[in-house]
Amino acid sequence: MKKILITHPIHPETVAELELPSQETYLYAPAIGANQIPDEANDPTLEQLCELLQDFQPDVLIVGSNAVPKKAITTWRQSVDNSQPLLIIRRGVDTRAIDVKTAQEYQISVTNLPGINSPYVAQHMLRYLQLQNAKPQSKIAIIGTGNIGKNIAISAIASNLDVHLLSPSLQDQHKRYSTLNARGINPHQVNCAQSITEVMLGATYVAIAIPWLNQQGIPNANIINLEHINHLSTNARIASASVPGIFSPQALNLLERLMAQQQIYLRIDTAKRRAIEATANYPHLDIAHNQAFAAPECQRALDQAMLAKARSFIFD
């Protein structure tokens, strides 16, 4: 019988369903994901993960934002037959905490669940942007127009804002209209910027929803700098679903000071490990972890998607 190890908290109804008779054996160890700490080298949950990988020898490993470093991957491979496959599923999108390079070296597959939580993340960001209080034609900069950004853009258009978009997929003018139409965005009601400087200049609202790695596999580290923050409108509101590292340290220091003076607002919702690290350094910033998809319906959707992917891997 195939085995699935789940190391991140899931919805209680899903837990109950796992106890029903099935063709798979499940081991549910939510404490690993719930109790992780930023100091990966001294994180006791990593030892627990290695022990379970060695003893349970799963065919599928499901994780949240908890780390799966080289040690965990090699522990599993050394415990099983060299030909046994393993699928690591990130119950979410960001796979940065997984040592993908080592996984590839051991012929281990890594996947995620893009798009499942996007509508819920967009709604979460909109709640903190407070567009319902915006003056007509206030400028909003939306960095990233994927599944999250497109929902924010549609809401911003409906709120009669001056919508400015920045995305690699919108840089080609010949494809721009078709790309926007495919995402449900009216091309005639938005402006497409060529740079972060252009899109953020004078913005009263900023929504950021970009992955850590760009299309070339290069980290989007420090892409928002001190200059970009200084060029925002007074009392701007920023909501980000991206990791804090997209801001330069200088930008974060300025945002910390401005937040303390109530001259700007920044909300970042990120993985637990990243949130703990950032909060320690920037206590005035509004930093949360995994709240954007805390809604029960989102949790259930993620659970169903991860189990469908796990079963497809096992039985196909």
* Domains of the chain, earliest start first: 2-115+296-315 (3.40.50.720), 118-289 (3.40.50.720)
106-119 residue pLDDT tens: 999 999 998 898 99
Rounded to an integer, the average pLDDT of 181-194 is: 97
Per-residue pLDDT at 287: 97
Q: Is the pLDDT of residue 41 over 80?
A: no
Tell me what pLDDT residue 308 has.
96
Q: Is the pLDDT of residue 190 over 80?
A: yes
Long-range contacts formed by 45-53: CB under 8 A, 24+ apart = 46/71, 46/72, 49/7, 50/75, 52/5, 52/7, 52/27, 53/5, 53/79
**Does residue 57 carry a pLDDT above 90?**
yes
Q: What percent of the chain has pLDDT over 90?
A: 84
Of residues 152 and 213, which shows the higher confidence score?
152
Q: Residues 125-157: pLDDT tens digits?
A: 999 999 999 999 999 999 999 999 999 999 999
Comparing 140 with 22, the larger pLDDT belongs to: 140
For position 39, what pLDDT does the model report? 75
Q: Does the structure show a pLDDT above 80 at 277?
A: yes
Would you say residue 84 has pLDDT above 90?
A: yes
How confident is the model over 157-163, as a mean pLDDT?
Answer: 97
pLDDT band of 243, cuts 50, 70, 90: very high
Please give the pLDDT value at position 316: 78
pTM of the model: 0.83
pLDDT value for 122: 96
What letters, b where the CB count within 10 A reaches 16 and e where it falls short, cover 165-180?
bbbebbeeeeebeebb
% of the chain beyond a pLDDT of 70: 100
Using the CB atoms, write b or e for 266-299: b if 16+ within 10 Å: bbbbbbbbbbbbbbeebeebebbbbebbeeeebb
Torsion from C-alpha of 153, 157, 161, 166, nearest 10 degrees: 30
Residue 272: the pLDDT is: 84
Gap between the Cα atoms of 98 and 88, Å rounded: 9
